[in-house]
């Protein structure tokens, strides 16, 4: 699955919420959703890291690795919202330095754009949003190869879509979001 196919499939599960009816309102709403979603998923990614007893058993390590891959996929979902709204293709950034730049600088940029667009009613800087989103995507790709042992992001994307298909059989619904079948989702993550 390439990234463009992933974006189309991921958007099937997007929660569309009312906004003020303007293009700016829609853009601001999706930018805030994407930026805040990435921030929360990075927090969950950090919580999924293996530590202590968890890393001492093969079963514990397998669970931690599954959780880590799940969070990388969830970050990609929010990136898909941004790529769709602002009309760019996610790709690894040539400026990305895996030894120097982590998620922080890119998240700072996305959060600042969300704040300026939503609260200050300023137009979105698409070039800068694209650069920040591709920086986050580069971090995900780097972690994919470093932590999961996979050289490509495709496995993460396919796994995320399988989980979303279990969670939302048709499309996003508030009911399905609140009544998740975690056992079935876990099976989809390990299929």
Q: Let me know: does 105 contact 38? Beta carbons within 8 Å.
A: no
pLDDT in tens, 49-62: 655 556 567 777 77
Domain enclosing residue 145, as ranges: 3-11+18-190
Between CA 99 and CA 104 the distance in angstroms is 13
Give the mean model confidence (pLDDT) for residues 109-126: 93
pLDDT score at 66: 83
* Tokens (6 digits) for 84: 């769709």
**Residues of 160-172 as b/e, b for ≥16 C-beta within 10 angstroms?**
bbbbbebbbeeeb
The CA distance from 145 to 82, in Å, is 23
- Per the model's pLDDT, the better-predicted residue between 38 and 190 turns out to be 38
Domain count, the chain: 1
| For range 156-164, the mean pLDDT | 94
93: phi then psi, degrees, rounded to nearest 5: -85, 130
- Going from the C-alpha of 59 to that of each of 50, 99, 159, 187, the distances in angstroms are 12, 30, 20, 15
pLDDT of residue 68: 85
Closest by Cα among 119, 123, 109 to 24: 123
Q: Say what the pTM is.
A: 0.90
User: Nearest to residue 67, comparing CAs of 157, 151, 175, 190?
Assistant: 190
Mean pLDDT for the chain?
Answer: 87
């Amino acid at each position: 699955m390439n990234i463009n196919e992933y974006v189309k499939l991921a958007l099937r599960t997007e929660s569309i919420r009312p906004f003020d009816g303007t293009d700016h309102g829609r853009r601001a709403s999706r930018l805030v959703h994407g930026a805040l979603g990435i921030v929360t998923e990075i927090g969950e990614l950090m919580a999924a890291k293996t530590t202590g007893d968890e890393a001492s058993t093969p079963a514990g390590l397998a669970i931690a690795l599954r959780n880590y891959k799940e969070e990388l996929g969830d970050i990609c979902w929010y990136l898909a919202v941004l790529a769709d709204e602002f009309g760019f293709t996610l790709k690894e950034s040539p400026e990305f330095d895996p030894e120097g730049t982590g998620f922080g600088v890119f998240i700072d940029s996305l959060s600042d754009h969300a704040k300026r667009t939503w609260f200050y009613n300023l137009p979105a800087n698409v070039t800068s949003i694209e650069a920040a989103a591709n920086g986050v995507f580069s971090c995900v790709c780097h972690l994919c190869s470093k932590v999961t042992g996979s050289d490509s992001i495709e496995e993460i994307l396919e796994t995320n879509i399988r989980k979303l298909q279990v969670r939302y059989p048709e499309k996003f619904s508030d009911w399905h979001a609140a009544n998740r079948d975690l056992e079935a989702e876990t099976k989809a993550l390990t299929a």
